[in-house]
Amino acid sequence: MNQNKEINLERLKKGLIKGDRVSIARALTLIENDENGGLLLISELIGYTGKAFVLGVTGPPGVGKSTLISRLIERYRKLGLRVGVLAIDPSSPISGGAFLGDRIRMLEHTADKGVYIRSMASRGWQGGLSESALKAVYLLDSAGIDVIIIETVGAGQTDIDVSLISDIVVVVLMPNSGDIIQLSKAGMMEVGDIFVVNKADIQGSDKFVSSIISVLQNSKGKKDVFSVSSTTGTGIEKLFEKLEMERNALKKKGKEILKTEKTAILLKMLARKKILEVLEEKISLGVPEELAAKVVSGKITLSRAVRILSS
């Protein structure tokens, strides 16, 4: 059994490194279903990663994220780059399936072998979506995919922190996509490195762009705002130039540094989960009550009890 598993992993690894699509799909299923197997595979793949540019695209529902991504895919493909898209749907399992299907259909690139699109719904993934998406990034990176785009609906209700796993986060908004104070409350203004006001072709766009710029002036660091129309193509070229600048700046950092940075993030996620598991186990065994009794009777201090419980 064990040997079989190892042979499969070896085969999967070989397939992935060749960029084989069936192997990518199998590997994604493996990380979805088998935590240990997934980690084993990722450990084997780390050496082949560090090349991909990870672009997070987030924003309220319906602002045109998928349509914009479709445009960006076009541009990257013109440069001969391979693109992977992870469309993450944190919505309830009930509406999940069909809704996500609609979103994916926005992308006209499914026949292109240089484009790999995968949806990840909230159901089923071990360890939550942030962890699963990061693991998926390792798989796609090792499979030679140059640009990995992660689409998430962001509006406070999402359980994925896209900025954790992306090199650059693009926040997409549209004219009248809600009150800016509301967007700030949802963490949207902090999470973005680049802001795109999509649907420049509709009324009220210029006014909205100005108000976003003035809100961002108060934030740390300089953040660019682009006004685009993903349906007509206006403004896409300028945005793409900026994204290419970011991708090239990242490449200069070097693969080893990028690998180490990503792996530190994965390690933190896994360790946090592990520590919580250990604590939950202690709680289920009644350890807090035992320690509390010792604290009450003066045998140990409260700080000592905390140390015991948390180690």
Ligand X SMILES: Nc1nc2c(ncn2[C@@H]2O[C@H](COP(=O)(O)OP(=O)(O)OP(=O)(O)O)[C@@H](O)[C@H]2O)c(=O)[nH]1
Give the interface with Mg ion as residue ranges (CB under 5 A): 65-66, 103
Residues that bind ligand X (CB under 6 A): 61-67, 103, 106, 153, 198-199, 201-202, 229-231
CB of 134 or CB of 153, closer to Mg ion: 153
CB of 67 or CB of 184, closer to ligand X: 67
CB of 52 or CB of 153, closer to ligand X: 153
Min separation Cβ 243 and Mg ion, Å = 18
Min separation Cβ 235 and ligand X, Å = 9
Min separation Cβ 230 and ligand X, Å = 4
Min separation Cβ 117 and Mg ion, Å = 11
> 8-40 as b/e, with b when 16 or more CB fall inside 10 Å?
ebeebbebbbebeeebbebbbebbbeebebbeb
Contact partner at residue 67 from ligand X, Mg ion, none, CB < 5 to 8 Å by partner kind:
ligand X
Contact partner at residue 63 from Mg ion, ligand X, none, CB < 5 to 8 Å by partner kind:
ligand X
CB of 144 or CB of 235, closer to ligand X: 235
CA distances from 188 to 149, 156, 195 (A): 18, 8, 10
Contact partner at residue 61 from ligand X, Mg ion, none, CB < 5 to 8 Å by partner kind:
ligand X
Min separation Cβ 134 and ligand X, Å = 21
CB of 130 or CB of 229, closer to ligand X: 229
Sign of the alpha-carbon dihedral angle for 285, 289, 295, 299: negative
Indicate the DSSP class of residue 121.
E
169 touches 193 (CB < 8 A): yes
Contact partner at residue 49 from Mg ion, ligand X, none, CB < 5 to 8 Å by partner kind:
none
What tokens were used for 305? 């009890």
Min separation Cβ 256 and Mg ion, Å = 34
Phi-psi region of 286 (alpha: psi -120 to 50; beta: other; left: phi over 0): left
Contact partner at residue 199 from ligand X, Mg ion, none, CB < 5 to 8 Å by partner kind:
ligand X
3-state helix, strand, coil in the chain (%, to 5): 60, 15, 30
Rounded CA-CA distance 219/240 in Å is: 23
CB count within 10 Å of CB 196 equals 28
